[in-house]
């Protein structure tokens, strides 16, 4: 799917109740980077936008209790970047897209929900003992992505 930064920004601005205070402006500011990273890593830019919204509400300084950093909440010990570097929106978007590509296409073998669950919960997303909170997270990101697509 080819989506331009302007189209993505229009969808973001049209989505009511999805983005918190200031989130729409921050998301639009980085929509070009989201589109470029999504294109390189074979991802839907609406999906990457939704993931960032769920992970950080487009706040680049956020660090989780688990040590995940930046817009895409990547854990620095599993990345080539430090937490300080991951707070740079451009680095975070590109590293998050690279990680999401791995989880969807390598771990999930193309299964979006398993891939998103893996991004959130690690290697506990297959079979009967699949991580329930990871699967809930996956459904939330997919739902938000679908809402954005309807707004374009």
pLDDT higher than 60, residue 21: no
Is residue 121 within 8 A of residue 137, CB to CB? The reply is yes
Mean pLDDT, residues 37-53: 96
Longest distance between any two alpha carbons in the chain, whole Å: 42
pLDDT digits (tens, 9 = 90+) for 102-142: 999 999 999 999 999 999 999 988 887 788 999 999 999 99
The per-residue b/e assignment along 17-33, b for 16 or more CB within 10 angstroms, e otherwise, is ebbeeebbebbbebbeb
Which domains are present in the chain? 5-151 (1.10.530.10)
pLDDT digits (tens, 9 = 90+) for 69-111: 999 999 999 999 999 999 999 999 999 999 999 999 999 999 9
Q: List CB contacts of 117: < 8 A, sequence separation 6 or more.
A: 108, 125, 130, 131, 134, 135, 137, 138
**Per-residue confidence (pLDDT) for residue 20, from 0 to 100:** 63
Computed over every residue of the chain, the mean pLDDT equals: 91
């Amino acid at each position: 799917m080819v989506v331009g930064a302007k189209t993505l920004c229009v969808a973001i601005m049209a989505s009511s109740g999805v983005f918190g205070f200031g989130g729409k402006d921050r998301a639009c500011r980085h929509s070009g980077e989201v589109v470029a990273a999504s294109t390189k890593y074979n991802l839907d830019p609406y999906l990457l936008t939704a993931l960032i919204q769920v992970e950080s509400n487009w706040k680049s300084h956020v660090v989780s209790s688990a040590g995940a950093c930046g817009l895409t909440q990547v854990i620095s010990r599993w990345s080539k970047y430090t937490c300080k570097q991951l707070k740079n929106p451009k680095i975070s978007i590109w590293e998050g897209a690279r990680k999401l590509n791995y989880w969807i296409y390598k771990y999930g073998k193309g299964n979006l929900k398993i891939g998103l669950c893996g991004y959130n919960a690690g290697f506990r997303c297959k079979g009967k003992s699949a991580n329930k909170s990871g699967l809930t997270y996956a459904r939330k990101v997919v739902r938000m992505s679908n809402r954005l697509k309807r707004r374009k």
